[in-house]
Every structure is written in C-alpha cells, then in structure tokens.
Amino acid sequence: MEAINSAREIMGSLDEQHYVADEELATVLFLLLRMHKPLLLEGPPGVGKTEVALVLSQLLNTRLIRLQCYEGLDVSAAVYEWNYQKQLLGIKLQEHTPLSVEEKEHHIFSHEYLLTRPLLQSIMEKERAPVLLIDELDRSDEEFEAFLLELLSVFQITIPELGTVKAKYKPYVILTSNRTRELSDALKRRCLYHWIDYPDFEKEKTIVRKKLPGIEQQLLEQVVGHVQAFREKKLAKIPGVSETIDWAESLMTLGFREVSSKAFEQTLGSVLKSMEDISQAKAEFVPGP
C-alpha cells in the first residue's frame, strides 16, 4: 500500500477495517511505522489489544505472525527446534551411503530438518516486513523476556549448526500485556507504549455498531449500558468489549429487540463468565418485563 503520512490517515484506515481507534492509538501506530520501534500495548483483557496487530497487518497487506505466550515458554517453542524424528530417519537412510561423518551431519542439520517457530519465521521473511504479535507477554517468565529483549535489539538469531540469520526486513512488533505481572524497565525502554482501557459509553456503542451494523438503537444502548454498569461492580471477571459484542449478537440471534428480564436471564452467559458473577448480576440488575 502507499506510504502513510499521518496518524489521521491511520485512523481512517482502521475505521475501514471496522476498528475504532482514538487519536492517541493512531499516533503511536504511526510512530511504530515510521520509527520501526516495538509497541507495547497494555490494558485489561478483552479491550482489543490483539486485534490492533491483526488490523495493522491488513492495513499493510502483510503477514501476521503470532507468538502466544504462556508460563514455561522456551526457545524451542518460540524460535526453532530440530525435527528429531525426521533426523533419525535421515541418519538411518544414510547408513550405507559413502558420505563422510561431516557430510552426514551437514545434511541432517540443514533447513530441511528445521522447524521454524514464530520468532524465527518473522526474521526469515523475504518479501516484506511482517507484523509480529507477541501476545500476553506477561504470562511468560523473566528468562524468556530477557531473551526477547536481546532479539528486539538486533533482530537476528544464531543457530549453531547453520549460523546467524539476520532479518532482511525488520518486523513491525506489537507486544501485549494484561499486567498479570510487571514487565521489566529494560523492555519498556525498548518500546513505544500505549494503554488501552475499557471504552466509555459512546465509544463502546460505536464499536458494537461497527461489528453489528444491523443492531437496533434501543438494544444497543441497553446492552452497552448494562455492560458499563457490570464494570462498576466487583466481579470475578470484568467483561471486555468482545463480551459486549457477543452478548449483543446473542440477543439479536434469539430475536430479542430489547434486554427484557427474560432476555437478561437467558443470555448472561454470553457476557459474564462465572457462576458467581451471573448470580450477582441476577440479584442486582432487574431489567424490565
């Protein structure tokens, strides 16, 4: 696509992708594209952090590569590992060949036997810079975060058997965190930063209408109003925007045009995700008949 020259252009492009962004988010995305610095997005679950990477890849017409972080994530799952079963088969097939030991080793430690994982895939892209999404980094441990910090500084990976792989096109990196643990200051200094919070009433209505253009105004206002009220309560799991959209779509699918008492009770499982939260909502919120 043509070069993007302003944050306002990004806002317009994101709007075309049905993503509602404010000027601050559009500005930090513009800086990401111009400065090629990683962007750290923090905020509560379900507010659209992951979707930013998806719509950015669509905007740039490039590949999205995603690394989902979890406790115990290591290099073999994030970067690369060798296909040991295929290597063993290769060794067996070479048993009666005239190849030297060095030639045999060179063969079984070739790209043919390499299993590339998201971080290495992002480095090896040959056509254009991909968008690399490192999702929920706070779920990984500090050792992996330290490795990632090094990678983000050089965008190259050394594979002892093959040598160093350096990025031809530096990926556009977006990291997300739900703040289940604090990320290191060193990592934050490496990144641009933006906090995405729960939207206010008007913005959330706009988001839901973007996703569900056929929703009636009364139903839209009632759904968003209830979700906004839920977030003021001490719930086990506060509903995100994705749950707001799910609830509205559930009500529309069942033919409800308003959040009546019956609709409320039948569909709460679309927006609240624990028995305690549902019981609390039924006790404290009493919609009309």
Residue 168, token pair as written in the block: 């031809």
Report the DSSP pairing between strands 156-159 and 163-166: antiparallel
pLDDT score, position 272 = 96
- What integer is the mean pLDDT of 271-277? 95
Given CA atoms 251, 220, 178, 28 in this order, what sign does their dihedral have?
Answer: positive
User: What is the per-residue pLDDT across 29-39, written as a single tens digit (0 to 9) for each?
Assistant: 999 999 999 99
Q: What are phi and psi of 46, to 5 degrees?
A: 80, 20
User: What is the per-residue pLDDT across 100-120, written as a single tens digit (0 to 9) for each?
Assistant: 767 667 677 778 888 999 999
pLDDT score, position 93 = 76
**If 0-12 CB within 10 Å is exposed, 13-18 middle and 19+ buried, where does residue 165 land?**
middle
User: What is the per-residue pLDDT across 160-193, written as a single tens digit (0 to 9) for each?
Assistant: 888 899 999 999 999 999 999 999 999 999 999 9
Q: Which of 54, 2, 63 is nearest to 29 (CA)?
A: 54
CATH of 7-70+119-195, one of 3.30.70.20, 3.40.50.300, 2.40.50.140, 3.90.209.20: 3.40.50.300
Per-domain residue ranges for the chain? 7-70+119-195, 80-116, 201-278
